[in-house]
Amino acid sequence: AEHEGRLRSRLSRGQMSRQILDDPPPRKGRGCLVMVGVSHHASSVEVRETLAISADTWLDLGPPGVSAVLLSTCNRVEVYAWGTGRGLRCADQLRRGVARAAKLPLASIEGHLVTLTGSDAILHLIRVAAGLDSLVVGDGQIRAQVRSAFLDAMAAAPLPPQLIGVFERALRAARTLQLATPSGHQPSIASAGVDVALSAPELRDRPLHTLRIVVLGAGAIAKAALSHLIGLGAQVTLLNRTLTQAQRLANFYGGAVTSAALVELPERLQQADLVVCGTASRSPVLDRTVLQVALGARAARPVVVLDLAVPRDVEPSVRDLRGVRLIDLDDLARLCPIDAAERALGLTRVEEQAVHTASEIDAWLRLRAAAPAIVEFRSRGQQMRCDELRRVAPRLKDLSPAQMGAVEELTERIVNKLLHAPTVALRERASAHTAGRAIA
């Protein structure tokens, strides 16, 4: 009994414990990351604005029982969740949830939705967070937007540990990748849009300090545009529905920015040379009628309107008005200047790093899922050692405590050496990379 007690004590100290992994083992079944959404790559701004879903709407109308991260920006609406098995059922739930939250029949949007699973979804998340998938490569805002979406989802409902682990690792990798992106000099899509607008024929030959510039909104997009304009040396009037917010921003930038309420827009349009729109309004704030009235008081002076919002701030029919140049996100996809040589030289290595990171995260998930099997395998080996020592305990009763300790140590070392190669093989097999799939 004394020998058996010592054996059990040694086994209980964690020789075959769950210390194989830092994280606790997951539920049975590996599962995979699932992403459903639309982006500027394959969908127009008209499509994206119909699918612009708020976090509150998703919480109310998203699929019940599915904890997900909603990423909604001017260029994409994507939902990330953890699905069991191959993730097909989860993907279907997310597609139906997006349609329900957008209040549209699934059939009307299904052709626009892209679904990714497994390592494809992991790589996509990394590329999005690092700005590699942005309209302007190296977009400085997107990583903060991904982090904010992730934190909001965690605050709203418990997330599966696998989903948390993937997002945490993707965000850490994105920071490194973003710093290494050679073409990531533009802080955001807003700054690139401002550059395109200022290079329009109506404005490019005029000194910047002579331009009357109006910015609508006080959110992230409007702030980015405002900051870029101030950095270029422009004088700007900031209009916002909540005047106190506009005043705070104006105070921050000092004399370069003046503020006013959004209700003054019709009057300001009579003088503006450039109007930058970046509000969070769910409906247009600048319609054809208001602009048409303003044009009548402008003595045929043209105006450039830059619409960075999703949903759009400007009625599309404004484009037909004489003397108005409207630039929206679809136009930026064609007009944003991109140095192809710089892309080829600098981005290849960053893209390779993104792929490598996705493989590492996928390997971590596989190893995490294999942990219970590895623990069970090593437990059985140690249990067999314990059983055999207990079986021969009567024949070892004359051994001194020191001699018995030597026998225990010897058998333990033999079992550990025998289990080492199979354990490594199990880990390597678990870590083997298998590509995810894009589901039509």
Catalytic residue flag (residue 74):
yes
Helix (H) or strand (E) holding 192: helix 189-198
Q: Which long-range contacts (CB under 8 A, 24 or more apart) does 374-378 make?
A: 374/20, 374/423, 374/426, 374/427, 374/430, 375/16, 375/17, 375/18, 375/20, 375/25, 377/419, 377/422, 377/423, 377/426, 378/15, 378/16, 378/20, 378/419, 378/423
Cβ–Cβ < 8 Å for 312, 49: yes
C-alpha distances out from residue 58 to 32, 170, 188, 279, Å: 21, 23, 26, 20
Distance of alpha carbon 279 from alpha carbon 152, whole angstroms: 21
Of 274, 286, 280, the closest CA to residue 314 belongs to 286
Peptide bond into 105 cis (omega under 30): no
Distance of alpha carbon 439 from alpha carbon 90, whole angstroms: 12
Distance of alpha carbon 386 from alpha carbon 246, whole angstroms: 73
Cβ–Cβ < 8 Å for 297, 174: no
Residue 94's identity, in one-letter code, is: L
Structure tokens at 268: 């300001």
Cβ–Cβ < 8 Å for 4, 390: yes
Strand partners, 258: 237
DSSP state of 429: H
DSSP labels, 83-141 = ESTTSHHHHHHHHHHHHHHHTS-HHHHTTT-EEEEHHHHHHHHHHHHTTTTSSSTT-SS
Structure tokens at 154: 């965690």
Structure tokens at 98: 């997006």
Residue with tokens 């994409």: 76
Q: Which residue in 32, 74, 90, 277 is the catalytic one?
A: 74
**Residue numbers annotated as active site:** 74
